[in-house]
Amino acid sequence: MDRTSRIRAEHDRFRLHDVAEFVIGSVLLAFPVAITEEVWNLGTELSLINTLAIVAVSLIFLGWFAYNTFYKSNLKYNRQEFIVRVLSVYLVTLIVAASILGLFGQFNLLTEPVVAIKRMIIVALPASFCATVVDSLS
């Protein structure tokens, strides 16, 4: 790895402040999406296959964006960090989505666990993209 790649690799390292950026970015879109009745209804109507497809699409696009933003020139040396970044942004976004849904009484994990998880996944789709974009701005 040449000197420029090493400097860029150090700058793009996954750090704790990235998690804070994930939270801020995901709240930006999770909040307006989570409070819509359409999301609440879609959570009850969406099939399991479509829900899993949303998870897959989210992870694919997050991986693509992270690769192009942070790891394009140095993925070979940072594969584990790449995977941790993608999974972390998605996990943080799911937690933020669940928290916001819970504030509005729409995340009833004990009484309607399947519906609650579907709603969380639906809200996390756009929110995770926003979280990644906010992370890339720093």
| pLDDT value of position 137 | 83
Q: 2-53 pLDDT, tens per residue?
A: 444 443 445 456 677 778 888 898 999 899 999 999 999 999 999 999 999 9
Q: Which domain holds residue 60?
A: 3-137
SS3 content of the chain, % helix, strand, coil (to 5): 85, 0, 15
Cα-based distances in Å from 78 to 6, 12, 13, 71, 75: 11, 10, 9, 7, 5
Global pTM reads 0.85
Q: Which phi and psi angles does 134 have, rounded to 5°? A: -60, -40
Stronger pLDDT, 128 or 78, i.e. the higher one: 128
Q: 55-103 pLDDT, tens per residue?
A: 999 999 999 988 888 777 777 777 888 888 899 999 999 999 999 999 9
Stronger pLDDT, 134 or 106, i.e. the higher one: 106
Domains: count for the chain: 1
